[in-house]
Amino acid sequence: MNEDLLSFIWRFQYFEKKGLETDEHMPLSILRPGHRNTNAGPDFSEARVSIDGVLWVGSVEIHVKSSDWRLHEHQHNGAYDGVILHVVWENDQPAMRRDGTAVPTLTLDGLVKASTIERYRCLLDERDTVPCNRQFGDVDSIRKYAMLDRVLLERLERKAMEIQQLLETNQQDWEQTAYQWLGRHFGFKLNDAPFQRLTTIVPWKILRKHTDRLIQVEALLFGCSGLVPPDSEDIYVRQLQQEFRFLSAKYRLGDDVMRLHEWKYARLRPAGFPTVRLAQFARLLCNTGGFLSRFVVSEHFDEIRGLFRIEQSAYWREHYLFEKKARAQVPVLGADSAHLLIVNAAVPLLVAYSKQRQQPDLLDKAIYWLSEIPAEDNRITREWASLGMRVKTAADSQALIEWFNNYCTPRQCLECMVGASLVRDA
């Protein structure tokens, strides 16, 4: 037995309640188990129980052993003075409040069907990456797709909170936040961190003054990135250096230049090198101006998709690296990369803005964008497809990735609508 399962049993009342008594032999009726508390303090709040004919309203605390109350020093914490019932699996010591009064205790051992515990243990012991792999087909589709909808919203909410934190750091400057968030995702995971650092060094308020001249935007970004070779006869490199000397002096940027070793090239195809991605990012900055306003006002998805189909400058259509001309033309940002940027950058920005401005229609738009993008193809989505789940759009794949990472991998089966339905008795 563990506390997660015990909380689950209490929350859904999966135990025998006929003739129920506290361990102190007082008749007990549970009118409302309470609301689960995910913050500090007792496990359930606003519970309603009748003990020996007296109505009590307050908190419920869950422990495997009643002695855990003292182990966790709840007897000294005023937050636990309002606990009206201590629910345990084993009662080995009375729980006392700060004023010395005893907390009524309910021991669930002997009241829970063995099959409920066994089903839970089977899920925990399962070696498949999706714990309910072998039983997944036994769960009705309504429950599965209800879970799919739930985890999609959870994923969007989680990313929106990350953006909200960034927004607070930027003192509610949405354009700087959108610039940094998009810049980070031009790193395509491997170079997320250096891209984010670069967008901090070169703020949007400086770049936006130069978006009418691509070479100056490239000079600011490449100059601060540390990627430009110091000594070169390459005409383009010398032009970047000349522009950067002037702009860095004007904006006092020279003291905070990144180092070459911060950027990653290993395991990347040449089209994904940070040099190429940085050139594409510079072009996007010049093409769009304010990102967020474009996302908010765009009516058609094709407009957003076209925004991310970026053709970098002439030099970077012929080079993957400085000074080394490519044998063939360097590809522009492809459809798959554009879709990833919309999924991971544009959609969360729109959701975060929707939440802050209380504009639910923007949330609907963000989900619509996801439904217009093909699903990602990776080991996670393939595993779900093998279980019969639809994986047609990015909305599906994003939800399934969240489900896998936040419920299946950490074995949070009791918080999953599918896992919970398999644990409880029919």
Split at pLDDT 50, 70, 90, the class of 338 is very high
With beta carbons less than 8 A apart as the criterion, state whether 258 and 201 touch: yes
pLDDT at 425: 59
Q: Is the pLDDT of residue 249 over 60?
A: yes
Alpha-carbon torsion angle 2, 8, 11, 16, nearest 10:
-80
Which residues are registered as beta bridge partners of 60?
A: 44, 85
Its sign, for the CA torsion 394, 400, 401, 403, is positive
DSSP letter string, 341-387: HIIIIIHHHHHHHHHHHT-HHHHHHHHHHHHTSBPP-SHHHHHHHHT
Q: Is the pLDDT of residue 42 over 90?
A: yes
Q: What is the rounded CA–CA span in Å between residue 389 and residue 382?
A: 10
pLDDT at 423: 92
pLDDT at 159: 97
With beta carbons less than 8 A apart as the criterion, state whether 135 and 422 touch: yes
Q: What is the rounded CA–CA span in Å between residue 290 and residue 178?
A: 8
pLDDT at 128: 87
With beta carbons less than 8 A apart as the criterion, state whether 276 and 186 touch: no
With beta carbons less than 8 A apart as the criterion, state whether 182 and 343 touch: no
Q: What is the pLDDT of residues 354-370, one digit of tens each?
A: 999 999 999 999 999 99
Its sign, for the CA torsion 353, 355, 356, 358, is positive
3-state secondary structure of 28: strand
Split at pLDDT 50, 70, 90, the class of 125 is confident
Token pair, residue 139, equals: 């769960």
Residue whose token pair is 């599965």:
144
Q: What is the rounded CA–CA span in Å between residue 103 and residue 52?
A: 14
With beta carbons less than 8 A apart as the criterion, state whether 82 and 74 touch: no
- Of 114, 138, 113, 133, nearest in space to 123 by CA: 133
With beta carbons less than 8 A apart as the criterion, state whether 241 and 224 touch: no
pLDDT at 299: 83
Residue 388 backbone class (left: φ over 0; alpha: ψ -120 to 50; beta: rest): left
3-state secondary structure of 292: helix
| Cα Rg, the chain, nearest whole Å | 28
With beta carbons less than 8 A apart as the criterion, state whether 45 and 32 touch: no
Q: Model pTM?
A: 0.85
Task: Tell me whether strands 35-36 and 54-65 are parallel, antiparallel or unpaired.
Answer: unpaired
State what percent of residues in the chain have pLDDT above 90.
90
Quick one: average pLDDT of 9-35? 95
Split at pLDDT 50, 70, 90, the class of 39 is confident
State what percent of residues in the chain have pLDDT above 70.
100
Q: What is the rounded CA–CA span in Å between residue 399 and residue 239?
A: 46
pLDDT at 290: 77
pLDDT at 108: 97
Split at pLDDT 50, 70, 90, the class of 38 is confident
With beta carbons less than 8 A apart as the criterion, state whether 367 and 396 touch: no
- Of 349, 389, 355, 347, nearest in space to 371 by CA: 347
Q: What is the pLDDT of residues 366-408, one digit of tens each?
A: 999 999 999 999 999 999 999 999 999 999 999 999 999 999 9
Q: Where are the beta strands (DSSP E) in 199-353?
A: 319-321, 324-325
Alpha-carbon torsion angle 378, 380, 382, 383, nearest 10:
160
Each domain of the chain, given as residue ranges in start order, spans 3-112, 170-371
pLDDT at 135: 92
pLDDT at 126: 83
Q: What is the pLDDT of residues 261-297, one digit of tens each?
A: 999 999 899 999 999 999 999 999 998 877 888 899 9
Q: What is the pLDDT of residues 58-110, one digit of tens each?
A: 999 999 999 999 999 999 999 999 999 999 999 999 999 999 999 999 999 99
With beta carbons less than 8 A apart as the criterion, state whether 5 and 109 touch: no
Q: What is the pLDDT of residues 134-172, one digit of tens each?
A: 999 999 999 999 999 999 999 999 999 999 999 999 999
With beta carbons less than 8 A apart as the criterion, state whether 286 and 214 touch: yes
